[in-house]
Amino acid sequence: MHYLSVKNMVYCSNCGTQIADDSYFCPKCGKKTQAGKAAKVNYPSDELQDAFYQVGIELERAFNMAARETHQAIKNARSNWQQNHKPSQEQTITCPKCGTKNPTGSIFCISCGARLTPVEESSGSA
C-alpha cells in the first residue's frame, strides 16, 4: 500500500537537505539521490559542476582583477592626496626642547609645554 498524498522525505547523502524521495537530484547541492540513481537519470551533473567550477574561477579571477584595480586606484588616489596634503616640515613646528612635532599654529608644545613661537625680543612694535 502506498501513501498517495504524503511524500516520503529523504535526506541528501551529500549535504543533508531534506528532499522528496521522488526527486532525482538534491535541490541544494545537485547530488543525485537514490531515486535518481534508481531511475538511472542521465544527467551531466559532473559536466555541469565542472562548468560551474569554471565559471567560479572566471568570476574569482575577474573579481581579483577588479579588486586589484580598485586597490591600485585607491593607492594612486592616496598618493596624490599625500602629495597635495604632504605634512611638510614647514607646516609642523618642532619643539626646540623635546623635538616633538606640533601641528601648525601651536603656541606651546603638545608634549612638554615649551613655548614654540619664539618670543621676538627685538619686536618693539608695541
What 8-state DSSP symbol labels residue 10?
E
Q: Minimum CB separation from Zn ion for residue 11, in Å?
A: 9
Select the span of 43-51, 54-62, 73-81, 110-118 touching Zn ion (CB under 5 A): 110-118
* Binding residues with Zn ion: total (CB under 5 A): 16
Q: One symbol per residue from 12 to 41: x for binding Zn ion (CB under 5 A), - otherwise; what is it?
A: x-xx-x--------x-xx-x----------
Structure-block grid coordinates of residue 5: 498524498
Closest residue by Cα to residue 33 from 41, 43, 42, 24: 24
In the chain the beta strands, taken as DSSP E runs, fall at 9-11, 18-20, 92-94, 101-103
Q: Which of 98, 103, 115, 117 binds Zn ion (CB under 5 A)?
A: 98
At residue 60, what are phi and psi to the nearest 5 degrees?
-65, -40
Using CB under 5 A, list all residues that contact Zn ion: 12, 14-15, 17, 26, 28-29, 31, 95, 97-98, 100, 109, 111-112, 114
